[in-house]
Amino acid sequence: MTTVEAADLERGMLIKMQEIEHEPSLKWAHGIWQSREAQLKKGIDNHESRVSNLTNEIYQLLGFASAFQGLLLTAVAQATQLKCHNVGIPLALSLFATVVTLAGVWQKKGIVTKLKRTLSTEDLVRQVRTVFLSTNFVFLLFSLSILRSLQLSQLF
């Protein structure tokens, strides 16, 4: 699209917006359209922030697990009475921490995956509704312009 076409399109949209402001039914339809678009956008934004929060929680969980493993390794390295028969407790603690961490990451990653799938679906729904509502809005504009032209033709 050239800049001239873009300018013409913008000028046409300004004219249509002025028509909307003067026609109560168009103003009402435009208000509904904007409120539905805002609701859908708010839902998408909430899901995006939840995905971001869960991703941060995964990183925090991995950080805590790494810190615990480091603490455990430090304790084992500094132990004076660690013999071959005493290795079981640190090994069991390390294994338990690893399993719990992996389970937590797996659970949160599953939630993130579901949210991302829902997010893409909601975004698609928003796009379809926007096209549908704009089509209905254009049809309403077209219908009102036909009614005006019929009213004008009846006057003459």
27's CB contacts (< 8 A; 6+ apart) are 20, 21
Residue 23 lies in a domain: no
Position 8 in a domain: no
Please give the pLDDT value at position 77.
79
Residue 77: inside a domain: yes
Tell me the residue range of the domain where 54 lies.
48-118
Confidence of residue 144 (pLDDT cuts 50, 70, 90): low
> Per the domain annotation, does 100 fall within a domain?
yes
pLDDT confidence bin for 142, thresholds 50/70/90: low
Distances (CA, A) of 128 to 41, 51, 75, 97, 125: 13, 23, 59, 46, 5
pLDDT at 105 over 80: yes
Distances (CA, A) of 43 to 40, 121, 127: 5, 12, 13
Residue 151, amino acid: Q
In a domain, 59, yes or no: yes
Residue 69 inside a domain? The answer is yes
Is 81 inside a domain boundary?
Answer: yes
Please indicate, yes or no, if residue 104 is contained in any of the structural domains. Answer: yes
Total structural domains within the chain = 1
CA gap 92, 105 in Å, rounded: 20
